[in-house]
Structure 1
Amino acid sequence: MPVLDPTRSIQGHFGEIWRDGVWLTNFYKAEASVDISYEKIKRSGTRRVGNKLGAIEMSGSIGGYKVTTEFAEQIAQAMDDKRGAFVCELILALKDPEAYGYERVRLKGVQFTKIDVMKFESGSIVEQEWPFVYDDWEYLDKISAS
């Protein structure tokens, strides 16, 4: 039975976040997930309840250091201009040089759900968390051991 080569486990040090083709160098963490709901279906002749696929919700967040006001200003301006929501594309990448390759995921139709207008704590580096929802995603590059 093969044993895990620990050097092939992926480390987050080499993660990158790109927004509309621009590397967001001050961001150091990202998460994107898909929440799948199921509806309970009662069935006659059995006590077992079935499950039917229901709504699918895609959400995530990016986080990093506060460096400029530019990001918050762009999102707020889009709402002020009455053009609707600020919509962008994010590419999340993991590129650990010891891994079996690298992985990149494109998140489409990203809309941020919260803006930190001002946030700080005396004696601490200012960090920001940007939660979002998105419409669709696709793998641009996949990691494979073969």
Structure 2
Amino acid sequence: MAALRGYHQVSGTWGQIWYDGVLVMEVKSFEAKITANREEVQIGMSKDSKLTSLSGEGTYSVYKVYTRGKKKVLEAWKKGKDPRSTLVGKIKDPDSPGGQGERVTIDNVWLNELILLQFEKGTPCEEEYSFGFTPEDASFVDIIA
């Protein structure tokens, strides 16, 4: 087994996301997580827990370059519709052992909020979006072994 070296640490510099098949070149950060929802169970004098459901949520931030589909979401929401999307996140650092990367696909993604316009004078614009998803619609496509 080869020795683990500091340069094997994966850098976020190489992270990418695709929103409905379109590469989001202006991505700054991305996070998607699944939370185990539990109910407390008492067994004798010990407190334990029972898994009752899963919930998926995340955020991504972009450097402001494009409107990137906000009008489409706004118009759908105003009509009472809840559009769903697919997000794919990938990170493949050239220094990863064996050149491997990690890729996750998430279907049934919904936005929780829509930033119509945001800016601060003298500062490059960024936008952050929160989203939710059903955990059964998330899967690893590639892993770093």
TM-score (structure 1 length as normaliser): 0.89
SS at structure 1 position matched to 2:69: helix
Aligned residues of 1:16 and 1:28 also touching (Cα < 8 A) = no
Unaligned runs of 5+ in 2: none
1:5 aligned residue: 5
SS at structure 1 position matched to 2:13: helix
After TM superposition, the runs of 4+ consecutive aligned structure 1 residues lying more than 4 A away are none
Paired AA for residue 17 in structure 1: I
Separation in 1, partners of 2:73, 2:9: 36
2:110 aligned residue: 111
Question: Pairwise CA RMSD of aligned residues?
Answer: 1.6
TM-aligned CA distance change 1:2 to 1:64, over 3 Å? same
Structure 1 position 69, deviation (Å):
2.0
Paired AA for residue 65 in structure 1: Y
Percent identity (aligned): 26
1:140 aligned residue: 141
Paired AA for residue 95 in structure 2: E
Structure 1 position 141, deviation (Å):
0.9
SS at structure 2 position matched to 1:121: coil
Which structure 2 residues correspond to residues 122-133 of structure 1 after superposition, within 5 A? 122-133=121-132
Aligned residues: 141
TM-score (structure 2 length as normaliser): 0.90
Structure 1 position 66, deviation (Å):
1.4
1:121 aligned residue: 120
